[in-house]
Structure 1
Amino acid sequence: MADVYQTINPANGEPIETYHLISDEKARTLVLQAHNAFLEWRKTSFSERGDILRNIARILRERKEALCDLMTQEMGKPIKQGGDEVELCAAICEYTADNGAEELADEERPLKGGHALITYQPMGVILGIQPWNFPLYQVVRYSIANIMAGNTVLLKHAPNVWGSALELAKIYREAGLPENVFTVLLINAEQTAPLIEHEYVRGVTLTGSPGAGRKVASKAGECLKKSVLELGSNDAYLILEDADIEKAVKTCVQARVINNGETCVSAKRFVVVDKHYDAFRDAMVEQMEKLKYGDPTDPEIDIGPIARDDLRETLHKLVSESIDKGATCLTGGELPVGPGYFYPPTVLENLKPGMPAYDEELFGPVASLIRVKDDDEAMEVANDSRYGLGGGIFSKDQDRAVELARNLFDTGMVNINGYRLAQPHLPFGGVKDSGYGREHGGFGMKEFTNAKTVMVID
């Protein structure tokens, strides 16, 4: 990347804004300033921190319309979906403010001849490396938890959403967050590794690809520093023998194309028992073909553009490779003519291991249909993946579905008879190549704290 970066509107390919990368020396200075801010921020009370987080929530809601416009302009999010992202961010702030003191409170433990306590102390400066697909949420998810814990936060955001990053920083400051507690770093990937090595950076969290995760985890491990990784997935949604097919199809279409299909924890592989396969396939194709894609500023549009031209090229390459290896394209699958990085709703079937649409994460509105003979094979296929972030089960026997989800589904999260994105009060994260560590639900507040034991001998 050059010293200058220009953001591009993916709906029309036109430039938005030009940014200048900061120097390595400036980046090191910002780390030092974040460390110095930490020395004071850690002294603040949970009540003080909570008040600021509630202010952030209030301002986010006040600026909702402008924030939605900015996200739509920078990464093509359908304008009608941006409000949900802003509301989720505000809810995270409020949940953290309301529950942080309890989650991070000292714990009393018995000790022979005395007593002991466990205290969750902040570690210092935490570096977050975040993607573009949810420009606000990805940042709020890790930063608010760490700010509540008493850490200070650095953000290396995806450059195509730097406008969103800087706007969020303004909101944090306006809400009362002291200077240098949250800092946006306009840096490229090559500048990031040296910052992980910096003595004042105590932990690093990344949301991105497995390839990026391996690099960050390797560097963090080399430096003996804690890391948390959320690395995407190719989530399987199981349509079992007793499923409500009408409900399953409606939900699965929504769960595949939300946020233009560019969601880590969205439905991607649809594993359908033979009993229902034909009916499910035909209904899904019919509903996918009814979806409207185009100008994301139009509230009637269901799917906007892919966020970058290179990302669209990668998506189409994976679709084409799957077809070349024997998959059947039932609808879509062709690059549209005209400006913007659009990709049509696409459905593939006859998928097998070795095809990208079976093995990989296709980041876009592409549904992968997999036929299986029965419920047992459905679970086997669901777990036949190097990923393990989320998944889903459709079954009228709720108790059995819960048992399958609890005991057999090798993922961090499971939806049953529906689809929900992240929830502030529930842990978020995966297993296998989907990463490790948890965010939300109080878990994220403790990931980068020192669980310190204090033993008192009477």
Structure 2
Amino acid sequence: MSFTVINPATGRDGKRYEATSEAEIRTAIEKADAASRAWRKHDFAERARLMKQAAKVLRDNAEAYGRMMTEEMGKPIKQGIAEAQKCAIACDYFADNAPRFLAPEPIEAGANKAFVTFQPIGVVLAVMPWNFPFWQVFRFAAPALMAGNAGILKHASNVPGCALAIEDVFRQAGFPEHLFKTLLVSSREVDAIIENPLVRAVTLTGSGPAGRAVARKAGEVLKKSVLELGGSDAYLILEDADIDFAAAACAGGRLVNSGQSCIAAKRFIVVDGVRERFEAAFVREMADAKVGDPTLAETDVGPLARVDLRDDLHKQVEDSIAKGAKCLLGGKVPDGPGAFYPATVLTDLKPGMPAYDEELFGPVASVIVVKDEAEALEVANGSIFGLGGGIFTRDLARGERLAAEAMEAGAVFVNGTVVSDPKMPFGGIKESGYGRELSHYGIKEFVNIKTVVVADGKAKGPRQVTE
């Protein structure tokens, strides 16, 4: 078995990679386990020194890594370079903050000494998607390795070069051999890897079906899992919003990574009184985006990652239009090679249309018109997803109240679009998954939160009732 890269901008075959054999998988896990047992004995200063070196490797090679992303999954080159640089920021952040995040926490326990300590658990499997082929991995790997764990990566089959390059980042940085290992395997082999007793936990970023499959298997063998799944992020454009500002922000949020982001802005819920102004401004902003060759610095929107994904997206658009949606921009598959799709805006959307109910993974925006704030919240929260969302209003107190108390999502931004940041926890609710990545919450997902009580053996008192 092998994996062949297909350039999504040209449709041409690229480099071919041989798959990891079953024997190699078993050996890699065994060596990762051994490496983790030695690695956990390294103090935070040594871990941080190597993680800082990984950040340097990423920065020194950001252009090459960005070009690799462009060739394998079509990311516009300027976004790929920025992604590699963002990974370096995450490495620096956890190198600087892991000692504080994982410092023992004292507990008041009378005469006894008591505290909580955070210990590594061993080998963690990461099942990662293609859309942010470096960032998705590093936002797991940087905290997991700083916590003292080892990592095994099963990456998406269309980005094998990126997967191996990430392993090489840690190798160049001087991390112990076998501590982070990439396996070029198919999805069919994930269950067996999870079942391996040396693998202690699994984290997945991907689709709902993939998340269910991993959660089911992890549950069967009683292993911790963290899932970051799909999203159909809602953005409320209220009657007091700065319309031109909102339209520009929403277009940028919809088109990031050519629309292929779990936390991309996707549903734009507009109060009827500002509908016409918002739609006109929004269409202008979407139309101004430069669609084309992802190797050019001026390109805003490149191809989708694969032709079949482009075709699936177009079917969702066509089905929505057939059910009564109105297309204000785009909606046509362009001639020529590659998996390109134009910036598209649909409006007059109703329940039962794919563009209303489903996640659209590409540069297609769904405009939903409501009568007021109450209906806007009802529509936003009525989704099966709950990853992120936004609110546009000039009344900051109103926006803060709605974001904190009313919208059902893992992150809500007021007058801005959702972004992931190492300092902030990232994850969703409902069918967008569970658990958190990044920040001090993320680094504690894959540690043993251990209670330690030390008594001098001399104190006498009443017998305690256990549990």
What is the CA distance between 1:152 and its match in structure 2?
0.3
State the distance in 1 between where 2:257 and 2:52 align: 27
Q: What residue is the counterpart of 1:432 in the other structure?
A: 430
Helix, strand or coil for the counterpart of 2:227?
Answer: strand
What is the CA distance between 1:299 and its match in structure 2?
1.4
5 Å matches for 1:48-447? 48-447=46-445
State the distance in 2 between where 1:366 and 1:256 align: 7
State the distance in 2 between where 1:222 and 1:230 align: 20
Q: Is contact 2:345-2:366 (8 Å) kept?
A: yes
State the distance in 2 between where 1:291 and 1:26 align: 45
* Per-residue Cα deviation, 1:385-414 (whole angstroms, up to 9, x for no partner): 000000000011111111111011100001
What is the CA distance between 1:429 and its match in structure 2?
0.4
Q: What residue is the counterpart of 2:463 in the other structure?
A: none
Aligned length: 456
What is the CA distance between 1:298 and its match in structure 2?
1.4
Percentage identity across aligned positions? 52
The range that moved more, 431-440 or 168-177, is 168-177
Letter in 1 for 2:201: G
Letter in 2 for 1:413: A
What is the CA distance between 1:113 and its match in structure 2?
3.2
Q: What residue is the counterpart of 1:8 in the other structure?
A: 6
List runs of 5+ in structure 2 lacking aligned partners.
457-467
State the distance in 2 between where 1:349 and 1:96 align: 43
What is the CA distance between 1:437 and its match in structure 2?
0.4
Letter in 1 for 2:90: I
Helix, strand or coil for the counterpart of 2:380?
Answer: helix
* Per-residue Cα deviation, 1:100-148 (whole angstroms, up to 9, x for no partner): 0000111111113312111100011000000000111011010111000
What is the CA distance between 1:420 and its match in structure 2?
4.4
Letter in 2 for 1:403: R
Helix, strand or coil for the counterpart of 2:431?
Answer: helix
State the distance in 2 between where 1:300 and 1:100 align: 38
**Under a length normalisation based on structure 2, what TM-score does the superposition of the two structures give?**
0.96
Letter in 1 for 2:439: G
State the distance in 2 between where 1:317 and 1:216 align: 28
State the distance in 1 between where 2:374 and 2:323 align: 26
List runs of 5+ in structure 1 lacking aligned partners.
none
Helix, strand or coil for the counterpart of 2:386?
Answer: coil
What is the CA distance between 1:354 and its match in structure 2?
1.5
* Per-residue Cα deviation, 1:324-370 (whole angstroms, up to 9, x for no partner): 22111111111111101100110111111121111111000000000
Q: Is contact 2:333-2:341 (8 Å) kept?
A: yes
* Per-residue Cα deviation, 1:42-86 (whole angstroms, up to 9, x for no partner): 111011110111101111111111111111111111112122212
Q: Is contact 2:389-2:417 (8 Å) kept?
A: no
State the distance in 1 between where 2:112 and 2:51 align: 38
What's the Cα RMSD here?
0.9
Q: What residue is the counterpart of 2:459 in the other structure?
A: none
Letter in 1 for 2:413: N
Letter in 2 for 1:202: R
